[in-house]
Amino acid sequence: MNKTTFHISQMDCPSEEQMIRMKLENFDEVKQLSFDISNRKLEVYHTTNLRGIHQAIHELGLKDELKRTEEAELPVANKNDNQQRKILWWVLGINFTFFVVEMTTGWISNSMGLIADSLDMLADSIVYALSLLVVGSTALRKKKVAKVSGYFQMLLALIGFSEVLRRFFTDSETPLFQFMIIVSIFALAGNLVSLWLINKNQSKEAHMQASSIFTSNDIIVNGGVIVAGILVYYLNSKWPDLVIGGLVFTFVIQGAFRILKLSK
């Protein structure tokens, strides 16, 4: 058994991990993949055909670099899969719940920041759902699910971004800062609970580490919407809300492109 280590510069969230897994799942010689997303490292346990494996990874365009190949034993499978699955289901539930809450209150309060944050929550939910719901499915079904999810997320983000532009160039109401701050605080609390659940597991598994990174990024976004709400109050202006909304919609669109790569 051989172990080949790659450094993949643009592997920084679960989307890239899913891309690599789906790209390599038809290689019979690949026996196991070990991801270290925080350090951008991938370890491939395989028998032969390293050239074909490397070419498949390179086709994803994630700026890969082959570091070394060495003999190694196949690691023992993780025995805490059921516990990790339960945690990820909880995190998925929290993200989807706040997608609904923030989308609803965003329209009521006229806040693009809340609407954008809700789509960021939806983006996370899609990634977690892809990881959980298609386990054991065929490669073709996984790609179909990824394509539908990616286009759906892209459509919502483009509609939201176009609404941000419309409000930039027309007279529109100043959002209700109270909704922005209060709802974002609850969303922040939900993400903190998610992060606590993930870290409590103390797993070194890549998908759990990736989930921790993803949730930490969400906390930053929540904080951005809270700050925007405070600025709306002090400046009595819609601009802080539109700026944070535009930034988050941009991130969501980038995430949709990443998911769509899974379907190729």
**What's the CA gap between 104 and 186, in Å, rounded?**
14
Model confidence at 136: pLDDT above 60 = no
Which among 29, 123, 10, 162 is positioned nearest to 20, based on CA atoms? 10
How many Cα atoms within 13 Å fall on the side-chain side of residue 245?
31
Please provide the CATH number assigned to the domain covering 2-71: 3.30.70.100
How many Cα atoms within 13 Å fall on the side-chain side of residue 120?
30
The answer to whether 195 and 253 have CB atoms below 8 angstroms apart is no
pLDDT of residue 64: 92
User: How does residue 211 score in pLDDT terms, banded at 50, 70 and 90?
Assistant: low
Determine the residue type at 45: Y
**What's the CA gap between 197 and 212, in Å, rounded?**
9
The answer to whether 130 and 146 have CB atoms below 8 angstroms apart is yes
pLDDT of residue 134: 54
Q: In which residue ranges of the chain is CATH 3.30.70.100 found?
A: 2-71
For residue 31, the surrounding DSSP H or E stretch is strand 30-36
pLDDT of residue 39: 85
**What's the CA gap between 116 and 35, in Å, rounded?**
30
Q: Which residue has the tokens 């929550």?
A: 121
Two structure tokens written together for 36 = 């270290």
